[in-house]
Every structure is written in C-alpha cells, then in structure tokens.
Amino acid sequence: MQHPRKHGLVGGDFDRRDFLKTAGATGVATLLSTPAVSWAASENPVKIGLVDPITSTFAALGQSEIKGAKFAEAEINKAGGVMGRPLQVFVEDGAGNPGTSVDKCARLVSQEKVDFLMGTVNSASSLAVSQFAQRHKKVFIATGGHVDSLTGTSCNPYTFRTCSTTWMLTSGDFETLFKKFGKRWYFLTTDYAFGKSEQTDYEAQIKKAGGSVVGRALAPVGTTDFSSYLIDVKAKSPQVLCLLLAGNDQVNAMKQIAQFGIDKQIAVGGALFELEQAQALPPAARYGWWTMEWYWKQPGTPHVADFVKRFAAAHNGEYPTARVWFGYATTHAFRLAVEKAKSTDTVKVIKALEGLELPPEVALQPHLPVYRAADHQLLISMFPGHVNSGGKYPDLFDVSTIVAGASIAKSAAEMGCKMPSL
C-alpha cells in the first residue's frame, strides 16, 4: 500500500487512519486499497489532481465524487489506460473551503505535476479553483459546484463543469412546485454562493409566474439548530417552503421540519436533493419534491443497469449516486479528450473538450450530454420527482420525468459568458 501522504492520495497532514475514520463508509476505504495496475517503469502516467471535501458538512458528497473518479480510474487502467499510458488520480481534501482547495491544487501542480484538475462540491471552492486553473493554465473540470457564474459571468477557457447550473436545477421542478402547491413561497437558504444563486433563479421564475415571496432566511453553513427559522416559517404560512441547503445542513433542517410537523402543513421542496441525504434521514424525515441530477433507476436507458451492478459489486452493495456519476463521468471526459487530442497539451485538450459528447456508456442517461463550446457547461438531464417516504434503500426517490438539459438551459449569452480567447 502506498503511503497516502507521500503519493498524494489524500491531503498533506491528513493521514490514512484519519481518512478512514472520517470517511466511515467502506466504499471510500476501498478506493485507497484498490491494487494498482502494473505498468512498465518507463510509462509516463496521465495525472489528474482531484480536490474534494473529505471532511466538512459536504464530506459525504465529496466522498461520493471520489468513489466515482477512482472507479473510473480502475476501469480505464484495466482497459489499457489512456493512449497506452496509466491514469493516476491523486486525491486531496479541500475540506469545503476555498482557500484550502486552492492550496491543495497548488500542491498537486507543484509536487505531483498533475496534468489536469477536477473536483469541488461547494460553489465558492469551485470559483476559487477556477481562478487558480486560469492563472496556472491547467484544465479544470468542476464536478459539483453549481453556481451559475462559474460557466456564466466568471467563465474562462480553462474551466469546464460536469454538474448543472443552479438555473437548470431550479427550472427542473419549479413548474411542478408552483402549479401543484401554490404561489406563496418562503426561502430557507444557505448563506453562500450556491444557495443565493438558486434563490435568485427561483425568484425570477416566481416573479414571471405571478407568485410572491412571503419570507426569506439565510442560514450560515454548518447550522445545526433551525428552530428560529422554522418558527418564522410557521408564522408566515407559505404554501411552499423552499429549502436551498446542502450536505449536512439540509439533513439537519429536514429532521427539524419533521419534528415541528411543518411538512404535514406546508409543501416542502427545492432545487437539489441527493441520495446521500436521503440515506442520512430517518424515514419520518423523508419527504418533499426535488430535482436529482442523476439517478440509478432508469428503466430502458442503455448501460445504466450494468453500471449500477458493477459499481455495487465493487462497493459492498452500495448504489451509485449523482455525485458518484459526476466523478465517474468527469474522469472519463478527460480520457476521451486526451484520446481525441492525442495529447495532454492544455490547449489541445481544451479544444477536444469543447463540443465533446459523452458516449452512452459514460452518459448513463437518455439525452447524451455535451460540453457546450460557448461556455464549457455540460448539458446534463434533470430528474425531478419526489422522495419515496415509504421506500427502502436504495429505492428512496421516485423520478417523475427525465428532462433534457438542453431544453431548459439558458444560452451562454443569457448566462453572461463572454469566453476570453486563449
């Protein structure tokens, strides 16, 4: 077993014992114990630096992205690597912090000499790493930071994004929430870039549809007690309580909403829900209408069932989540771009990524997504639906429909992207 600190498997002063203790899930432990493929000593590996939160309120989401990337790494190497070269994914803990994420990227670039960067869950880290990538002329594919500006007003030639924009997330289920439950909304939002971007997008749609916002509350990241916010929600009596939280914050809020009985009186929903969160909730706190960005249950979609089976077999029966798919698809996107460019040269790989369509065995959804050349946004499908409150893992969500990302995404110009030239 390689020592993780020496070989960049985890971040600087965060050793293997700490990683396994924090990660908890056996699937994450498996990532660090996967045997390396044997290659000739002369082989020059293609290196990807992955910075994701292994700790912090976003830890479960980051760990899932890591699992997906490492699963793809093993798959690619088993099939012969990238242009006959081994692929290495070096993992660092960004701790959901912009400064830490940038520091870890700097370590990966200077010490590990990585060719490319990927990762991030929270939007503030995505924006910070994007700026780092531009300064250092490294291709960065954001896996999980959704803020519109990343591929909008802050777009740059070196940054691509696999997950959706907040506009796509909110558009995925706004009409259902508005028509099914009512026009009077209350927002409980995480006080950082992602939540604020979601709220801005929802409010634009509410205004256009003739609805009203009866209350707004911003909760700091890491909030554990939501009682003061929920007292105000009950006083304002909205028809829709829109939760724009993430990670453990959303889990804690949903538990307390159930304790207050609010979910029985007011429709609860929001832009984004994750299988990781559904797993963490007790049955009484599983409710609401949300949007998933990928879901494992897609009858009739080619390759999905086989992927789920392979992943579960490698992870002690654990099912893949949207975050797993983000890590998996992004790693394969780099492989496809390098093979298309026949090079790891930054400019050539950027050109290869622009307009790259993920093939069905990587896309794992009915509408094949494309990294749009104009703003480098991947146009993935949205999976709106509702929590299956009586379900058992992994069947915890009922998808109402699968919406093609291209049908709801704003154009690059509408998003404010004016892509600088290289």
pLDDT of residue 36: 52
Q: Backbone phi, then psi, for 161, in 5-degree steps?
A: -140, 135
pLDDT of residue 18: 37
The number of angstroms, rounded, from the C-alpha of 230 to the middle of its chain's C-alpha atoms is: 28
**Spatial distance between the Cα atoms of 390 and 321, rounded to a whole number of angstroms:** 19
Share of the chain above pLDDT 90, in %: 89
Whether 4-164+304-363 and 167-292+382-408 share one fold: the answer is: yes
Q: Where are the domains of the chain?
A: 4-164+304-363, 167-292+382-408
Is 160's pLDDT higher than 70?
yes
Is 20's pLDDT higher than 90?
no
First to last CA, the chain: 41
pLDDT digits (tens, 9 = 90+) for 31-84: 443 445 455 545 799 999 999 999 999 999 999 999 999 999 999 999 999 999
Kindly state the tokens that stand for 93.
């803990």
Helix H, strand E, coil C: the string for 318-347 is CCCCHHHHHHHHHHHHHHHHHHHHCCCCHH
Report, as an integer, the average pLDDT of 301-329: 98
Helix H, strand E, coil C: the string for 42-100 is CCCCEEEEEEECCCCCCHHHHHHHHHHHHHHHHHHHHCCCECCECEEEEEEECCCCHHH
| CATH code of the domain occupying 167-292+382-408 | 3.40.50.2300
Report, as an integer, the average pLDDT of 210-225: 97
Kindly state the tokens that stand for 173.
């289920």
**Spatial distance between the Cα atoms of 338 and 120, rounded to a whole number of angstroms:** 22
pLDDT of residue 24: 44
pLDDT digits (tens, 9 = 90+) for 117-131: 999 999 999 999 999
Which residues touch 89 (CB under 8 Å, ≥6 apart)?
Answer: 48, 50, 69, 70, 73, 331
| CATH code of the domain occupying 4-164+304-363 | 3.40.50.2300
Is 17's pLDDT higher than 60?
no
Q: Which of 36-45, 155-164, 214-223 has the weakest average pLDDT?
A: 36-45
